Structures are given as C-alpha cells and as structure tokens.
Amino acid sequence: MAMANRLANKTALITGGNSGIGLATAKLFVAEGARVIITGRNKETLEAAAKELGPNAFAVVADATDVAATEAAIKKGVEKFGKLDIVFANAGIPGGTPIGGTTLAAFENVIRTNLTAVFFTVQAAVAQINDGGSIILNGSVISVLGNPGWSAYAATKAGVTAMARVMVSELSPRGIRVNVVAPGAVRTPIWNGLAPTADAFAALEKRLAGTTPLGRIAEPDHIAKTVLFLASDDAAHVQGQEIFVDGGATSSPAGAPVFRA
Ligand code: NDP
C-alpha cells in the first residue's frame, strides 16, 4: 500500500499514545507522514508502542497531571522533531463516581486527569505550537447520555467541550483550530476494569451495541480517522466543533436495535 501524506512535515503530540485510541491515531498519523511524540505513564507500553511505530515516533514518560513533567516532555519532543503542528489531548481514565459511594479523592482524580490535565497539556503545547496548528480534545458521548454512576467523568467530558470553545476564542488570532472528537463506546483497554473477562466484555459489548443505531461499538480506527480529518488541512475551516463518532447513539437513540420490533 502506498504511503499517504496528509500530514507530511507535521509534528504531532498525542497524550496517551501508548494504548487504545491514542495508539491507533499515532499509527495513522505516522502512516500519513507525521512525526509523532507520544506520552503516557507506563514506560513498558510506551517503549513497545514506539518500537511498533518506528523512527518517526518518540515516546516520553509523562504523567499528564504533572504540569512540569508535561512541559518537560513537550520540550524534549520539540527538540527531537521540531515545533508542534498538531496536539491530540487524548489521555483519560474511566472511574465510577456513584452518588452515595464516592470519595472526594476518587472524584478529584477523574477531574484532575480528564479535565485539569487537558487544560495544562494545551497550555504547555501552545507555547510550542506553530501558528495555524490544530488541537483536538477527546470528549465522550457520556457528556450527554446521563449514564448512571459517571458524574465526574461526564462533567469532565462536557467541560472539555466548554473549554474548547474558550480556547477557540483565545487561539484563533494565531490561526490555531481547536475541536473535540466525542467517541461512543470504543473497543480499547479502558473497559478492562468494568469488564475484566472476555465473557464480561462480550456481554457489555452486546448491551452497548444494542443502544447504538449502527448496532456495533467503534474500533479505535473509527476515531483515529476523524482525528486525522480534524488534524489535517481537510478541516482547515472547522473550528470549535464537537464531532460525535458514535454510530448514531446520541443523535438518534430511538433508532437503536433495542427499540426495533
Ligand atoms: P486506554 O485505556 O486504552 O488509553 C488511555 C490512555 O491514557 C493510555 O495511553 C494511558 O497511558 C493514558 N493516560 C491515562 N492517564 C494518564 C495520565 N495521568 N498521564 C498520561 N497518560 C495517561 O483508553 P482509550 O483509548 O479508550 O481512551 C482514550 C481517551 O478516549 C480517553 O480520554 C477516554 O475518556 C476517551 N474515550 C474512550 C471511549 C471508549 O469507549 N474507549 C469512549 C469515549 C471517550 P498510561 O496508562 O501509560 O498512563
């Protein structure tokens, strides 16, 4: 297969680039000609990802909730590959926070990782991004679906979209675009805690597919391809949008298989 080059000569930062959606996006970006800096907390999976991605990838261990570590990782990446053109603030964690069973620490851990760290990733990256760059934040359908037990997570993902709108106002003078990709359920290790066995995951997948008009959950590539669109010049005039990649789950819940006669 011929290499495509929609991201030729571009440098991208992907937080959480060692797993799931972030890793799938890193692979697609490299295949499209980009140089990619990936971060995460886990040294082993980061090194494995970098090996798989090849010489146009550079992995740096950095906890996104640690502002100094994030700034240092971006500096190292920029030293290696040049100033940024694309930022995918993707790192995130699940974490149930049901009413009646939630500690302050558990709630704040989700907020710190999925909301606060996203802001500080963007702040650190903006100091190193070229004018005309593209920033993509990872949202979720859970911001609008009202899933029971997910208050903190839902708040972070709604918050990401609200922040993106503010970032658009602050960064448009530099021609920088900020958009949100909001996935429905995607087949990634994020579900391992909730569904630790193959059987448990199959049951969960059946339930999630049943509430999705297209009758399936997403594969990481479905999300990566939308992130590629938002990152590339194909989306040159797309600014401040939230694109749901969810098989119709939020637009048309009444069309889901569970409602079919
Ligand atoms: P994974 O668990 O596969 O990936 C999560 C990634 O985030 C890992 O690379 C992890 O790396 C990284 N990460 C988590 N916490 C931190 C941290 N403190 N610092 C740095 N990196 C961190 O899940 P997904 O690929 O599914 O999730 C990616 C994003 O997509 C998340 O924001 C999630 O909320 C969102 N999303 C996922 C959906 C799904 O169904 N899968 C649906 C909607 C949204 P490490 O462990 O090494 O730190």
Report the separation in Å between the CA atom of 113 and the middle of ligand 1, taken as the mean of its atom positions. 10
- Nearest atom in ligand 1 to the alpha carbon of residue 117 is 18
Of all helices (H) and strands (E), which one includes residue 14? strand 11-15
Catalytic residue ranges: 153
- In sequence order, which residues have a C-beta less than 8 Å from that of residue 141 and are 6 or more positions away? 182, 183, 184, 185, 244, 246, 249, 250
Tell me the average pLDDT across 21-30.
98
Instruction: Using the structure block, give the residue that is written with the tokens 């993902």.
Output: 157
Report the separation in Å between the CA atom of 175 and the middle of ligand 1, taken as the mean of its atom positions. 28
* pTM for the model: 0.98
63 in contact with ligand 1, CB cutoff 6 A: yes
- Residues 45-93: tens digit of each pLDDT: 999 999 999 999 999 999 999 999 999 999 999 999 999 999 999 999 9
Amino acid 67: pLDDT: 98
Residue 3 has pLDDT above 70, yes or no: no
- Residues 187-211: tens digit of each pLDDT: 999 999 999 999 999 999 999 999 9
Report the C-alpha gap between 259 and 261 in whole angstroms.
6
